[in-house]
């Protein structure tokens, strides 16, 4: 009996080990492999988020909901008493529905639009999407995932066949030269890049992302082709700076790449020029503050007591921690290096405030799962860090709702609670819009609704009622 038990335990471990070894040798197969292992239940045990509805919502229209009492906030209407919020056929409704309606009491709580994470990458499998939706992220912009996998996740979510956020996807990002993994794809010339944009557009992507080594000529070809097909362009810059990228016409700049964050008069002048160029050409900034913070805290986050790790399957957890420790070069985190990376975060926060005060659009995005940034859970830290940077709680929440919706071209559909908007929302304890220390904390979630369907329900534990 003992030998049988040992064999039963070791086979999944051996399969996962061999699979991960194959993925490391052939990184273009990583997402496919993770999906297969997850489907077979071979990634190991994980904890599910408390209150999460554990079955996909399906395609059927949801029953009507009425949320009474509490406070209501969106960027358009500000914070106000909730007069009664009707959710009918997946949309916010201005009229009382006929027929059976579920009633939810939100006394002592605040109703917010569903959060939009503007910079994610897919783990593969189902657990990352569950973590996002269970954390109130009802929409996400995927900026670097294998094309077939990203499009499949998008379609499954839209059809109600997957527990997760609504997805806007770019497929793999474009890099100069040979690709090194399934998150990226290599291009050798402007003509090749334009052809790839056409191929991706035909496949059904929502936008294009450019990354390492893309020069000005190639970027110009990508932007022209993408905009001609109605696609946005997100840019992680290195060979082109933010001023030139703005002139070429990118739509968002990620991580404040292409902007000089160092100290000194020359850097200050370059930063000011970048802000002027971006604001003048309506280029949004996705600063991903939380991944900049994780750059110097990653060693602590890799410890077993990190509460986010329990939601990641056991074998995938080991791979995630090991790979991101290497990715963040955690072995270099001496006290001076920690202070250097901390200083970069502080300078990035100052840039965010300067950009915002100049009239720029700031977008909340996390870059999960890089540097152990947890899907969904760390979206709340991103919002908190925007407040630390100097945005008001309302402005930080707008970066994660209405401003993100505008950048996606979905104003009036996403990021708000006005009649006609998609019924995406979360209900949180207390008032995250207060000016007290810790304001904009959206972590204590009692209810998540996506497309009018309850995705997470903790109302009975919150003291609120549901009939």
Task: Look at the alpha carbons of 432, 434, 435, 438 in this order and tell me if their dihedral is positive or negative.
Answer: negative
- Per-domain residue ranges of the chain: 1-42, 113-421+430-450
pLDDT in tens, 6-62: 334 445 555 555 555 444 444 557 788 888 888 888 899 999 999 999 999 999 989
The radius of gyration computed from the CA coordinates of the chain, to the nearest angstrom, equals 22
Q: Which residue has the tokens 């950048």?
A: 407
Regions in the chain scoring below 70 on pLDDT = 1-28, 435-440, 461-467
Q: Are the beta carbons of 432 and 387 closer than 8 angstroms?
A: no
Q: Which residues contact 26 (CB under 8 A, 6 or more apart)?
A: none
Q: What is the pLDDT of residue 17?
A: 53
Q: What's the farthest any 2 CA atoms get from each other in the chain?
A: 73
Q: What is the pTM of this model?
A: 0.93
Q: Are the beta carbons of 312 and 47 closer than 8 angstroms?
A: no
Strand ordering across the sheet containing 232-235: 184-187, 173-176, 207-210, 232-235, 252-254, 284-286
pLDDT in tens, 118-146: 999 998 889 999 999 999 999 999 999 99
Taking Cα atoms as reference points, which of 81, 125, 145 lies closest to residue 107?
81
Rounded distance between C-alpha atoms, residue 148 and residue 168, angstroms: 14
Q: Are the beta carbons of 209 and 174 closer than 8 angstroms?
A: yes
Both tokens assigned to 81: 């008493």
Q: What is the pLDDT of residue 98?
A: 83
Both tokens assigned to 82: 């909730």
Fold of 113-421+430-450: TIM Barrel (3.20.20)
CA distance readout (Å), 346 to 139, 262, 335, 337 = 28, 11, 17, 14
Q: What is the pLDDT of residue 466?
A: 45
């Amino acid at each position: 009996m003992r030998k049988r038990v040992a064999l039963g335990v070791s086979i999944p471990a051996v399969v996962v080990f061999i699979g991960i070894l194959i993925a490391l040798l052939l990184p273009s197969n990583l997402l496919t492999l993770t999906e297969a292992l997850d489907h077979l239940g071979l990634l190991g045990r994980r904890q599910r988020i408390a209150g999460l509805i554990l079955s996909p919502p399906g395609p059927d229209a949801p029953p009507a909901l009425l949320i009474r009492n509490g406070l209501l906030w969106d960027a358009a209407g500000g914070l106000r008493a909730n007069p009664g919020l009707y959710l009918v056929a997946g949309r916010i409704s201005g009229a009382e529905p006929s027929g059976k309606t579920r009633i939810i009491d939100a006394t002592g709580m605040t109703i917010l639009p569903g959060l939009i994470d503007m910079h994610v990458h897919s783990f593969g499998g189902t657990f990352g999407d569950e973590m996002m939706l269970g954390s109130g992220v009802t929409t996400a912009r995927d900026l670097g995932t294998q094309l077939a996998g990203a499009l499949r996740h998008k379609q499954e979510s839209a059809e109600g066949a997957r527990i997760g956020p609504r997805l806007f996807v770019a497929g793999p990002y474009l890099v100069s030269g040979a690709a090194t993994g399934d998150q990226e794809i290599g291009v050798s010339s402007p003509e090749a890049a334009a052809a790839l944009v056409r191929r991706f557009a035909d496949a059904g992507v929502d936008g294009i992302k450019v990354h390492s080594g893309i020069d000005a000529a190639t970027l110009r070809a990508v932007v022209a082709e993408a905009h001609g097909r109605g696609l946005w362009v997100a840019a992680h810059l290195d060979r082109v700076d933010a001023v030139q990228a703005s002139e070429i016409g990118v739509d968002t700049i990620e991580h404040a790449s292409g902007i000089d964050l160092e100290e000194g008069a020359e850097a200050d002048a370059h930063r000011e020029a970048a802000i002027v160029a971006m604001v003048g050409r309506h280029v949004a900034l996705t600063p991903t503050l939380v991944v900049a913070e994780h750059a110097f805290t990653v060693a602590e986050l890799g410890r077993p007591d990190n509460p986010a790790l329990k939601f990641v399957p056991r074998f995938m957890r080991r791979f995630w921690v090991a790979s991101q420790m290497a990715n963040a070069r955690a072995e270099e985190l001496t006290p001076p290096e920690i202070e250097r990376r901390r200083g970069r975060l502080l300078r990035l926060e100052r840039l965010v405030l300067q950009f915002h005060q100049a009239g720029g659009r700031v977008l909340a995005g996390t870059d999960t799962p890089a540097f152990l940034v947890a899907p969904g859970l760390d979206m709340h830290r991103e919002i908190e860090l925007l407040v630390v940077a100097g945005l008001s709680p309302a402005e930080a929440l707008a970066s994660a709702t209405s401003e993100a919706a505008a950048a996606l071209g979905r104003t009036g559909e996403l990021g708000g609670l006005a009649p006609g908007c998609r019924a995406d929302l979360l209900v949180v304890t207390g008032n995250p819009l207060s000016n007290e220390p810790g304001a904009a904390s959206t972590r204590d979630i009692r209810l998540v609704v996506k497309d009018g369907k309850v995705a997470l329900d903790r109302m009975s534990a919150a003291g609120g009622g549901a009939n």
